[in-house]
């Protein structure tokens, strides 16, 4: 069975999707591994991820941030700098929370064969999200 590792971030107020994504990218996250960006605008509850060439990233970020999607989940897959690990960043309706689902080569705890080093991800993400009004964190590593 596969493990699921996710970290949920809650914010004091609604956050701007475009600002949050740009904050992550400016900190060094990569939007692509092979020239394509994976993103989601969940119009119908089916979570149909799309792929687009990396050169159109600004278009995707703009579209995801449009107010008309405020009651829908939008998401983007990003990769952490200097490691081969990444995850899906899901922005929930109302924009008071983001889930980071670590699904691409999770970084494991030293000495563990299956548990994710959630602390490593928190050290990396919390300072970025605090600047956006972070108020709560919940993390899970489960089967």
Which pTM value belongs to this model? 0.94
Strands 4-11 and 36-41: unpaired
pLDDT bin (cut points 50, 70, 90) of residue 87 is very high
- List pLDDT tens digits, range 18-31: 999 999 999 999 99
- List pLDDT tens digits, range 28-42: 999 987 899 999 999
- List pLDDT tens digits, range 97-137: 999 999 888 999 998 778 999 999 999 999 999 999 999 99
φ, ψ (nearest 5 deg) of residue 35: 85, 0
- List pLDDT tens digits, range 58-75: 999 999 999 999 999 999
For residue 90, is pLDDT > 60?
yes
For residue 45, is pLDDT > 90?
no
For residue 13, is pLDDT > 90?
yes
Whole-angstrom CA distances from 110 to 8, 114, 116, 122 are: 23, 10, 9, 16
The pLDDT value given to residue 20: 98
């Amino acid at each position: 069975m596969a493990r699921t590792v996710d970290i949920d971030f809650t914010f004091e107020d609604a956050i701007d999707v475009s600002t949050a994504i740009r904050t992550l990218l400016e900190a060094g996250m990569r939007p692509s591994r092979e020239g394509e960006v994976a993103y989601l605008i969940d119009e119908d509850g089916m979570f149909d991820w799309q792929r687009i060439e990396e050169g159109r990233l600004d278009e995707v970020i703009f579209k995801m941030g449009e107010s008309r999607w405020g009651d829908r989940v939008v998401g983007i897959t990003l990769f952490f700098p200097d490691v081969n690990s990444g995850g899906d960043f899901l922005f929930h309706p109302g924009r008071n929370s983001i889930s980071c689902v670590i699904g691409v080569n999770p970084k494991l705890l030293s000495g563990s064969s299956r548990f994710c080093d959630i602390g490593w991800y928190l050290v990396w993400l919390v300072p970025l999200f605090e600047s956006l009004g972070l108020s709560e964190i919940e993390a899970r590593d489960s089967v």
